[in-house]
Amino acid sequence: MRACIPRGDPGVYLLFRRGQRIYVGRSDTDLRIRLSQHVGGGATEFAAIVCPSPWSAYRLERAAYLSLRPPWNRVLPRRPPGS
Cα(66)–Cα(38) distance, integer angstroms: 22
What average pLDDT score do residues 48-77 get? 91
User: Which residue would you say has higher pLDDT here, 36 or 82?
Assistant: 36
The beta strand positions in 1-83, using DSSP E, are: 11-17, 20-27, 45-50
User: Do 15 and 47 form a contact (C-beta atoms < 8 A)?
Assistant: no
- pTM of this prediction? 0.87
Is the pLDDT assigned to residue 2 strictly greater than 70?
no
pLDDT digits (tens, 9 = 90+) for 14-40: 999 999 988 999 999 999 999 999 888
**In the chain, where are the structural domains located?**
11-68
| CA pseudo-torsion sign 11, 17, 20, 23 | negative
Is the pLDDT assigned to residue 61 strictly greater than 90?
yes
Helix (H) / strand (E) containing 14: strand 11-17
For the segment(s) 11-68, the CATH number from 3.30.420.40, 3.40.1440.10, 3.40.50.720, 2.40.50.100 is: 3.40.1440.10
